[in-house]
Amino acid sequence: MSYRELMEYQHKQTVNLQEMLTRLVNSYRLLVGAANELNSIALSDRRQVKDALKRAQEVGALIDDVNDALKRSQCRYLDYCVMYSQEVKNYINPQNICEEIKCALCTDI
């Protein structure tokens, strides 16, 4: 497997982690909102509110775990992106870009 293929695979995994994090955050918000609603209902039992908050805390712990995994996995991918950009920068001649822009502007007039 080439480095490029490896980085593409890692990018996909990073996207999967980001999507998982988004879903978990949405679930967390819903759980906190539900606990808040339970708390405002006069007939609700205090135990129900505590259980709802406990579920929200469990999802919060999952969010922390996914966030940590995301931070650790992005490190090498970001290094790859920076190195790739530096190589592209070394390969491209700024004078050629200026000439190309001037030609494009002349033909647009």
* pLDDT tens digit sequence for 24-78: 999 999 999 999 998 888 777 889 889 999 999 999 999 999 999 988 887 777 8
CA–CA separation, 98 and 94 (whole Å): 6
Q: Which fold has domain 3-108?
A: Methane Monooxygenase Hydroxylase; Chain G, domain 1 (1.20.58)
- Tokens coding 80: 């790859």
* pLDDT tens digit sequence for 2-37: 877 887 888 898 899 999 999 999 999 999 999 999
- Please state the domain extents for the chain: 3-108
Tell me what pLDDT residue 55 has.
95
- HSE toward the beta carbon, residue 36, CA cutoff 13 A: 6
- One-letter identity of residue 81: C
Q: What angle do CA 59, 75, 58 make, to 5 degrees?
A: 5
**If we measure between CA atoms, which residue out of 14, 30, 27 comes closest to residue 78?**
14
Tell me what pLDDT residue 53 has.
93
- Tokens coding 77: 């991918």
Proportion of the chain above pLDDT 90, given as a percent: 38
